[in-house]
Each structure stands twice: as structure tokens, then as C-alpha cells.
Amino acid sequence: MVNAPTVALQSIGADTSAPIGRHLLGVVNFTDKSSEITIDKACPRVSVNLAETVGDGFAEVWTTARPVTTGQFGTISWASDGEFFFGAFHIPELPQYAEATEASYTEVLELTESLGYRPFRIWHYISGLNEPNAAGLETYRDFCLGRARVLERSGITHDMPAATVIGAHGGGIVCYLLARRRGAHVNLENPRQVPAYHYPARYGPKSPNFARATHLTAADGSTFLYVSGTASILGHRSMHPGDVAAQTRLALDNVGYVIGPGNLFAHDLNAGQGLADLTAVKVYVRHRADLPVVREICRATLPESADVVYLNADICRSDLLVELEGIAPQQLATSGSPQ
């Protein structure tokens, strides 16, 4: 059994207890209910308001190999098994988010640093993502302002892991993250894209802070590639405006490139992966009417083995129609060589 967090995408309301030999680390329900976070002795349970109906929703269930302890630190609900950590915070709907984002991100860094953990994957779901805040700044750019201020103070603006920022249907900001105590993970860039840290000022007063993917090696040598929300961007430009099919193909192509052997070799890593290795894929589609086209392209491109879910959501640039993320696990065969 892998001694690293693994994820299963289950239907909402399905029994979200851990499989035999695994322990719950965190449960994220994508539902039609309001965003909230609860915590019990088992783990934090996050609800993200991002499904049209319960039927559209799903549960993202993270488990780990060892029993966890849970805790609360300011706005952060967390669980840890001593090596891996799951944390989450919720900021209610506000006229502006930078200040509250700064406060919660400060708590995330204080908590993970005090416990000796380093984040390796972060997700954010933000209602009104493309809407102007009370000061007229797009909410996504408002969020980036708050995040960047904290990371600048901590000197880690260019060392953040894979991330996702996607719109929610209401409820303010929900953020959840995975972190690890020991061992280094490697943040990857995609040479076909300008690193988000270096986006020109036209995209906002502060650049986003995330890597294109993060590569993690577990104690048993298994590796996991966590791919950020990836869109139809080359260089720093959004490509194929208005053409959701072309945007879907380029987003998939960007994912295949960033986890491919050439890019991993360029980051001094072995055993690149491919789209055929992806699982736990979340596809975010701006217009519901585009879902059938996006599904068709994804089904033709992704392996049948992949768990793929589709969500109707706003994306961090208003000219982007689709974005997707995934995980490429590489379990070691018993011989110790990559499968």
C-alpha cells in the first residue's frame, strides 16, 4: 500500500470512509450546497459550492497510510499522519478579498512551517472569480494581491507548488492543500509557457504564484505528478479565443508536455509520464453548453482508466473556456522499477 496520499473521486453521499488499510486525510465535497468546512476526529470535510445539483457533484476523498490527528489553527482546519498534511480554510463572501486572503495564507504558512511541513499542492475555489470587487478589481486579481503579499514577506513568491484557482458558484473562497514533512518535492515549469510568476502586469497588479506541476517521490520510491489547473496558454497569451475545442486540445497538450519525459529530464527527473498516466482529472468548463464538446475531446484523449469529472466553473481569465488538472501516479512494481 502506497505510503502517500491517494485520492478517489466518489459520488456525493457515497460512503466516504477509507478503504481497508487507509485512513481519511481530508474529504472535499463538490456540491450544490454553500461552501463550508467542518472537522471531526476523522478529518476536515470541505464543501465547495460548484455543482448544479447533487447529481452533478462528487466527493474528492484523500486517504493516507497511517492514522491521522486533526486540529484547528485560526481559520485552518487540518489533519496529519505525521508525514502528510491536509489543511483547509474558508473565507466567506466579502466585498474585497486581499486582506482576508493575506490573513489565512499567513496562518497556512505559520502552521505548516511550525509543524515542519511544506505544501506540494494547493486548490482554491472562489465565487465571483471574474467579477469586479468593491474597488473594481477583478476578484481573481484581488485574491492574487493578497496571496502575493504573504509570499513576498516569506520570500517564496517563486517557490510555490502546483495550484488551481477556479470559480465557485457562491460562498467566498475555499482553499485546501496537501503538504509533506520530509523529503523534497520538485516544482516543474512548462518551457512552452511563461512561468506564472513572470506574467506581464496586464494580467493583474501581482502575478499568480504557482508551478505548472509538482513532482513528489514517496518513501517507497513511488512518484506522483500533481498537475496545476492548465489552460490554453502559450507563452503568457491565451490562445484560441472563442474556440473551446481548440482550447481543450491545447490545454491537454500542455499537460502532456509538462509531465512528459523531455520536461522531466530537463528538471533532472527520470521516468516522465504521459496523458495515459493521468487520473483524478478535474475538467472545468466555463459554459455548460460546451460540456459535450469538451467531454468528447477528453474521452478521446485521456485513458479509460482515468477518473474524470467535469464542472461548470469560471476560469481565472475571462477569455479562457476550459481548464483541467490531474495527477499522474507512478507506482513502483514489486521489483522496484517504475511500472
User: Per the annotation, does 140 bind a ligand?
Assistant: yes
User: Per the annotation, does 97 bind a ligand?
Assistant: no
Question: Residues of 136-150 as b/e, b for ≥16 C-beta within 10 angstroms?
Answer: ebbbbbbbbbbbbbb
Name the residue with the smallest CB distance to ligand PYR.
Answer: 231
Binding status of residue 316 toward ligand PYR by CB under 6 A: yes
- Interface with ligand PYR (CB under 6 A), residue total 9
DSSP string, 77-121: EEEE-SSEEEEEEEE---S--HHHHHHHHHHHHHHHHHHT-EEEE
Instruction: Considering only residues 168 through 227, tell me which ones interact with ligand PYR, judged by CB under 6 A.
Output: 196, 208
Instruction: State the helix-helix crossing angle for 244-258 and 291-301, rounded to 10 degrees.
Output: 30
- Whether the Cβ atoms of residue 174 and residue 90 lie closer than 8 Å to each other: yes
Binding status of residue 119 toward ligand PYR by CB under 6 A: no
Task: Specify the residue, 218 or 327, whose C-beta has the smaller distance to ligand PYR.
Answer: 327
| DSSP-assigned beta bridge partners for residue 175 | 89, 124
Q: What is the distance between the alpha carbons of residues 244 and 257, in angstroms, rounded to a whole number?
A: 20
The stretch near ligand PYR (CB under 6 A) out of 90-98, 168-176, 229-237, 265-273 is 229-237
Q: How far, rounded to the nearest angstrom, does the alpha carbon of residue 120 sit from its chain's CA centroid?
A: 10
Task: Specify the residue, 83 or 314, whose C-beta has the smaller distance to ligand LVR2DG7O.
Answer: 314
Binding status of residue 255 toward ligand PYR by CB under 6 A: no
State whether residue 28 is helix, strand or coil.
strand
User: Per the annotation, does 199 bind a ligand?
Assistant: yes
Catalytic residue selected from 138, 189, 323, 325: 323
- Whether the Cβ atoms of residue 141 and residue 183 lie closer than 8 Å to each other: no
189 is catalytic: no
User: Per the annotation, does 284 bind a ligand?
Assistant: no
Question: Could you tell which of ligand LVR2DG7O, ligand PYR, none binds residue 164, using a CB distance below 5 to 8 A set by kind?
Answer: ligand LVR2DG7O
Query: Minimum Å distance from CB 189 to ligand LVR2DG7O?
Result: 13
Query: Minimum Å distance from CB 19 to ligand LVR2DG7O?
Result: 29
Binding status of residue 323 toward ligand PYR by CB under 6 A: yes
Residues that bind ligand LVR2DG7O (CB under 6 A): 163-166, 208, 210, 228-229, 316, 323
Q: How far is CA 114 from CA 61, 100, 118, 250, in A?
A: 26, 21, 10, 40
- Residues flagged as binding site: 140, 147, 199, 212
